[in-house]
Amino acid sequence: MNDLDDLLDRIDTPPLDVAADVARGERALRRRHGWQASAAGLSVAAVAATAVALGGSSPARDSSQAPSFLGGPDAGVHSQQHHQTRARHHDRHRLLTVKQRLRQLNRQLNDPETRTVLQTYRDVLAQHLDPGGTRLGPVNGQLGGTGSFGTKLDWNHGGELMIVAGTAWDRFEGFYGPDVRVTPTTFHGDAARTTTYQGDLIVSVRHPDGTIVTLVASSSFGNNGTSASSLDLTTRQLLAAAADRRIVLPSYLR
Amino acid sequence: MSDRSGFGEYVAARRPLMFRTAFVLCGDPHQAEDLVQQVLTRVYVAWPRIQRMESVDGYVRTMLVNANLDRVRRRRDRVGLEGFDQPSRQVDQDAVLDLREALAGLAPGQRRVVVLRHLWGLSVEETAVELGIAPGTVKSQTADAVSRLRGLLAPQQLEGPRP
């Protein structure tokens, strides 16, 4: 069966970003409890806690050194040996990448520009999509970190409006998926893509400076479990908002 | 902030395995990443309770499987807007496509066995208990899955050098 194990080992995994998983969990937790605390402060605390947890240890360590959660009754000797086999395939540079990215994200969260840029995103979206000021929620978190940047906003009291900016199309492949019928188009001369998926509206627009802005409008807010009565948006409206030149990446990502 | 110590370590240790599990279950890297993110978000929220469980791994596996079932149930045709040209999409690497197609060729039961036996390293008996089937069924499904994957991927994939 070694050949099958080798085959499964060839499944490339995305770069490990513990801080991003912690940040997503924190956002879900805050929504769940209705916390009003600053997302940036909590995220920084979460990053710091994670960095401490990872400090001096390796995610690739063998199971004899692994924390207790790995040693449940159903893990068994076979599992232990198998985990050791898996661990050999984690290399040191991946751990360094985790730490580097944690430090980078921490710096970005502390950077006053982060909050300013996200607020600008929110203001631009409000101007295009919510001139009455009743449907778009406040900024309460950050998405991305390396090569992409954005936030999720409450839309129409329970829905979600996500904005993500980056400089490469492949950063946004995940929003469309490999088998989704994407519609290439242009919007006032800018290259653009649009699609719909399960009622969600998804658009991307590439600005002349290379910045690609993606907007995803959904009637439900991800893991929060809330939903809006209606989306009440059009693809054209989203394209216009995404094409707004005031949406730029923070200087540390350009 | 509530105590979520240990969550970061769990993610660092288990996320690659969770991704591979999700990939085998759904056959798509983007959807696999979505599944992992969804599950880890729920795990984080419930971490104070989950970390006290006898088998965190078993619970997380179940969450992954259920999240994938929800995804399949929600799936429906995704339609682009009318009046535009078809896109020029980036083509994945051949190896990834081969693997994806091979995994898609497995029956759901075979996929689950592959996940538990070859990714999570459970024994035949442990797999049988988790799936609620006889050990003999685990053995036969494992053999069928391996044979089928060999047939779909041989010879270049299984005998080729490690990248």
Q: Is B93 on the interface with A (CB under 8 A)?
A: no
Higher pLDDT: A177 or B118? It is B118
Q: Is B17 on the interface with A (CB under 8 A)?
A: yes
Size of interface A-B (CB pairs under 8 A): 222
Return the structure tokens found at B67.
């999240």
Looking at CA atoms only, how far is residue A198 from chain B in angstroms?
Answer: 7
Chain B residue with the nearest C-alpha to that of A75? B122
Q: Is B92 on the interface with A (CB under 8 A)?
A: yes
pLDDT at A76 > cutoff 50 = no
Give the mean pLDDT of chain B: 74
Q: Is A55 on the interface with B (CB under 8 A)?
A: no
Q: Is A173 on the interface with B (CB under 8 A)?
A: yes
Tell me which chain A residues have a C-beta less than 8 angstroms from the C-beta of B90.
169-170, 173
Q: Do A53 and B34 touch (CB under 8 A)?
A: no
Is A181:A170 a contact under the CB 8 Å cutoff?
no
Q: Do A70 and B5 touch (CB under 8 A)?
A: no
Q: Do B8 and A180 touch (CB under 8 A)?
A: no
Chain A residue with the nearest C-alpha to that of B13? A59
Looking at CA atoms only, how far is residue A173 from chain B in angstroms?
Answer: 8
Is A98:A90 a contact under the CB 8 Å cutoff?
no
Q: Is A112 on the interface with B (CB under 8 A)?
A: no
Return the structure tokens found at B75.
């799936």
The most confident of the ranges A47-51, A143-147, A219-223 is A219-223
Q: What is the pLDDT of residue B159?
A: 40
Distance in angstroms (rounded) separating the CA atoms of residues A93 and A95: 5
Distance in angstroms (rounded) separating the CA atoms of residues A87 and B156: 25
pLDDT at B115 > cutoff 60 = yes
Model confidence over B140-158: pLDDT tens digits?
888 888 887 777 665 444 3
Count of positions (residues) in chain A = 254
Q: Do A53 and B79 touch (CB under 8 A)?
A: no
Looking at CA atoms only, how far is residue B65 from chain A in angstroms?
Answer: 17
Q: What percent of chain B clears pLDDT 90, i.e. is strictly above it?
A: 9
Q: Do A25 and B53 touch (CB under 8 A)?
A: no
pTM, entire model: 0.43
Place of tokens 């802005």: A213
Instruction: Read off the amino acid at residue A162.
Output: M
Distance in angstroms (rounded) separating the CA atoms of residues A32 and B137: 42
Tell me which chain B residues have a C-beta less than 8 angstroms from the C-beta of A222.
41
ipTM of the complex as predicted = 0.72
Looking at CA atoms only, how far is residue A170 from chain B in angstroms?
Answer: 9
Tell me which chain A residues have a C-beta less than 8 angstroms from the C-beta of B126.
74, 76, 78-79
Model confidence over B22-57: pLDDT tens digits?
888 877 777 888 889 999 999 998 998 888 888 888
Q: Do B13 and A59 touch (CB under 8 A)?
A: yes
DSSP string, B30-61: HHHHHHHHHHHHHHHHTHHHHTTSS-HHHHHH
pLDDT at A207 > cutoff 80 = yes
Chain A residue with the nearest C-alpha to that of B148? A4
pLDDT at A127 > cutoff 50 = yes
Tell me which chain B residues have a C-beta less than 8 angstroms from the C-beta of A3.
150, 158-159
Neighbours of A220 (CB within 10 A): 18
Return the structure tokens found at B85.
């040209």
Q: How many CA atoms lie within 13 A of A202 on its CB side?
A: 22
Distances (CA, A) of B36 to A63, A232, B56, B79, B136: 22, 30, 15, 25, 31
